[in-house]
Amino acid sequence: MPELPDIELYIACLRPRVVGQSFSEFKTYNPFALRTVTPKPADLIGTPITDLWRIGKRIAFGFEGGATMVIHLMLAGRFRWTAPVAAIQRKVTHASWRFGEGSLLLTEASTKKRAGIWLFPDRESAQTLDPGGLEPLACTPEQFARVVAEGNHTLKRALTNPFQFSGIGNTFSDEILHAAKLSPFKLGSSLSPAEMDALYRATVETLTKWRDRLIAEFDGGEKFPGPGQVTAFRPDYAAHGRFKEPCPVCGKPIQRVVYAEREFNYCAVCQTGGRLLADRSLSRLLKDDWPRSITDDE
């Protein structure tokens, strides 16, 4: 799922293409993608877009007069920018907006169609989609610490809970926790002042680094990401998606915990003192044979 750095990249790329512009045509190819009834997309044809902003992991488009369109990409949704009359791959395309210089497509290459479009009469109504999590790049260390500690959640859960923090998901929580050298299963309420400071700094530095890096990769928004270029798996991540690959800090293999349809990654040496975290699927299968430390697994 695109997270804060990815969403900020899309905003940087969309801004020079659509702000001050209006679309002349809107088409939907999946009737379930449009999640609201009024206003209708046709009502906004010819109305200039005045602003773009992020609501958690969503992108909001503000129109002259106040109407607001919000798009949530969910796990596999992506934007594409094409020539105005480019052929549409209907199987993976939810909707298209035709502008003077190009067309914006909302695609989702997944059998589970979760991405959606919401339209609201004003910006205030659109903000009801905001879960209310703290903005990690616009908070004080004290605000950050208070939110991490509330609810007695694990750090993994606290960082990815949209009611606690805005815009952080599975990918960047892995990267943040690796940078902070903290276990994903450590309780937020148990952090020492030094650990809380390390987590705060790792959060700000990791999100800022990747936001700026991604925007720079696309020339400040001059280039638009193509298929596969907004991804949860990058070879130069420190931990996420790098199971069994060497940790860039200690050289030991990155580990994983599998749950539901997902997994998260960590370094047992750098983050858990050499202890392997229980993998729900494998630990149940192997029982007493499940290794308890990185040494046992070698």
Q: Quote the pTM value.
A: 0.92
pLDDT at 290 over 70: no
Q: Is 13 helix (H, G, I), strand (E, B) or coil?
A: helix
193, 171 in Cβ contact below 8 A? Answer: no
Q: What is the mean pLDDT of the chain?
A: 93
Q: Residue 281's pLDDT band (boundaries 50, 70, 90)?
A: low
Q: Is 34 helix (H, G, I), strand (E, B) or coil?
A: strand
Domains along the sequence of the chain with CATH:
4-129 (3.20.190.10), 135-231 (1.10.8.50), 238-298 (no CATH)
Residue 55 CB-density burial (10 A; 0-12 exposed, 13-18 middle, 19+ buried) = buried
Reported as a single tens digit per residue, the pLDDT across 242-268 is 999 999 999 999 999 998 778 999 999
CA dihedral 20, 51, 94, 104 (to 10 degrees): 30
Beta strands in the chain (DSSP E): 25-28, 49-55, 58-63, 68-72, 77-82, 93-98, 103-108, 116-120, 255-259, 262-266
Q: Is 259 helix (H, G, I), strand (E, B) or coil?
A: strand
